[in-house]
Amino acid sequence: MKNCIVAQSGGPTAVINASAIGVLDANIISNYYDNVYAGINGIQGILNKHIVNLSNIPHDEVKGLKYTPSSGLGSCRYKLKPSEENTEEYIKLFEILEEYEIKTFFYIGGNDSQDTVHKFSVYAKQHNKDVKFIGIPKTIDNDLPIMDHTPGFGSAAKLIATSVLENFLDASVYPAKGVFILETMGRDTGWLAASACVATINGKPAADFIYLPEVAFDTEKFLKDIKQKLTEKNHVFVVVSEGIRTKEGKFLGELEGTGLDKFGHAQLGGVCANLKNLILTTGTAEKVRVLELSTIQRCSMHCASQTDIDEAYEVGKAAANYSIEGISGYMIGIKRLSNSPYKAEPFALEASKVANNIKYFPEEWINKEGNNVTREAYEYTLPLIIGEPKITIENGLPKYTFLEEAFNL
Q: What count of residues does the chain have? A: 409
Instruction: Give which of 139, 100, 184 is closest to 10, Cα–Cα.
Output: 139
SS3 140: coil
CA distance 85 to 99: 24
Q: Are 238 and 271 in contact (CB under 8 A)?
A: no
Q: Are 189 and 49 in contact (CB under 8 A)?
A: no
SS3 110: coil
Q: Are 322 and 139 in contact (CB under 8 A)?
A: no
Q: Is 257 exposed, middle or buried (0-12, 13-18, 19+ CB in 10 A)?
A: exposed
Rg (CA), the chain: 22
Q: Is 392 exposed, middle or buried (0-12, 13-18, 19+ CB in 10 A)?
A: exposed
Provide the residue type at 333 as one letter.
G
Instruction: Give which of 384, 389, 307, 309 is closest to 339, Cα–Cα.
Output: 384
Instruction: Give which of 245, 178, 244 is closest to 208, Cα–Cα.
Output: 178
CA distance 171 to 405: 45
Strands (E), 190-326: 200-201, 204-205, 209-211, 235-241, 288-292
Q: Are 346 and 313 in contact (CB under 8 A)?
A: no
Provide the residue type at 168 as one letter.
F
Q: Are 198 and 378 in contact (CB under 8 A)?
A: yes
Choosing from 25, 115, 141, 308, the catalytic residue is: 141
CA distance 405 to 108: 21
Active site residue 141: yes
Q: What is the DSSP letter of 377?
A: H
Q: Is 230 exposed, middle or buried (0-12, 13-18, 19+ CB in 10 A)?
A: middle
139 - beta bridge partners? Answer: none
| Catalytic residue positions, numbered | 141
